[in-house]
Amino acid sequence: MRTDNILKTAKKVRPLFIFVALLILSHSVFANTPSQRDWWYTLQRGQLMFSRGDYGNALMTFEDARRDRRAVFDRMERDLIELLSMGEVRRLGDSLDWVERFISDRHFSEAAVALEELYFRIPRERFDNSVTAALEALGTLRYFPEAEMWIGRTFLAGGELGLALRQFELALSQRHLFENPAFATELLYEIAEVRRIRQEYREMERVLLSILEDSTLWAADAGQGWQAGTFARDAMTRTLQRDGVQRWLTLYRYGNTQTMRAHRELGFYYIALGRHGRAQEHLMFAFLIHNTVIIDEIIRRRFDFSFTTLEALANEIARDPFLATYADEGQYYRVAFYLGNALFGNGHADSARELWRFLAARDNAGQWQVRAAAQLRSPNPAVGPTLVMP
């Protein structure tokens, strides 16, 4: 009787055992086959490891993410090539419309998924109804610039400047594939920073200037000097030089935050070289953008706020921990000091002294309060190349 019960129990359990075994087997077979967009989860795991300082495992995980994406799009490319190699499809010519209809009518799901993924990333209109163009574009999607960028960051964290720069340049060559176009700007800043550390200052300058190419107030006349700007830029410059900082900040706003750091670093670089004209134009934009962001943030909280004086604005900054942190991170007082130096070097002493007086009265400006006070006391303020290279 006991043996019969065991046999009956075994018969009941066996199907369940087989089902579980099949699940385990299927997992082992497909574990190394990344599914669509799994590479993003892998990338995020690597970012978490990176944030914890686990650079070795982070590097391997970023490489896994890159490999996963390549595997998925290689498979999609093969699926589409196999379809296009069929005699029936070749007779349709290079018409994307006809090929899509064939895929739909014959239910070629793999090719349909490949085209769906392609159109998700690149608008169909760009292919001008050409199957060849679509296939070529699908082949480029195997690249993963975000992974290349994070691999570069990992090398940089480990002090491998050459390897980091190579990775950043590779990611830059794939910039059209960034999910967020703003990543390209972040990448350019990181390349500029590596160039600075390696003391490759001309290359640093070139990269920082490239960040400004899409700036509406800068790109039209980039590289031709501060006297050759657009009408708006000329008007801003004249107001600052002739009427001073208070009037200038009353009249103008410019909130292109992506370019603020580039203007700031270029301004410091040109100050170091004693090129006051170029320094003034960049530090002017850096200071204007920084103040615009601060004023807009205050207005967001208090709709009735309006700018009156730089001193009153600085008091608002000092009272708000968030704004104070933002000012410190953006080197607000340092920019103000060297903008004053650039203005003085360009022959606009009144505007320069206005900025120095503002700084000299700020107890929270640190060394820039002391240095501004020294400039005001001196009959011949020192505005030459006083900085080491940035």
Sequence-separated (6 or more) residues with CB below 8 Å from residue 314: 358, 362
Distance, CA of 118 to CA of 120 (rounded, Å): 5
Closest by CA position to 276, among listed 345, 191, 349, 230: 345
What the block records as the tokens of 246 is 């208070």
- What sign results for the dihedral spanned by CA atoms 342, 343, 344, 345? positive
What the block records as the tokens of 199 is 């003391």
Distance, CA of 292 to CA of 254 (rounded, Å): 6
For the chain, the farthest-separated pair of C-alpha atoms sits apart, in whole angstroms, at 114
What the block records as the tokens of 238 is 């004249």
DSSP state of 95: B
329: region left, alpha or beta (phi > 0 left; psi from -120 to 50 alpha): alpha
Distance, CA of 230 to CA of 324 (rounded, Å): 33
What single letter denotes the amino acid at residue 330? G
Is the overall model pTM greater than 0.85, yes or no?
A: no
Which pLDDT tens digits describe the chain residue by residue (390 residues)? Answer: 444 443 344 444 344 333 333 333 333 333 344 455 689 999 999 999 999 999 999 999 999 999 999 999 999 999 999 999 999 989 989 999 999 999 998 889 999 999 999 999 999 999 999 999 999 999 999 999 999 999 999 999 999 999 999 999 999 999 999 989 999 999 999 999 999 999 999 999 999 999 998 887 776 544 444 444 478 888 999 999 999 999 999 999 999 999 999 999 999 999 999 999 999 999 999 999 999 999 999 999 999 999 999 999 999 999 999 999 999 999 999 999 999 999 999 999 999 999 999 999 999 999 999 999 999 999 999 887 765 665
165: region left, alpha or beta (phi > 0 left; psi from -120 to 50 alpha): alpha
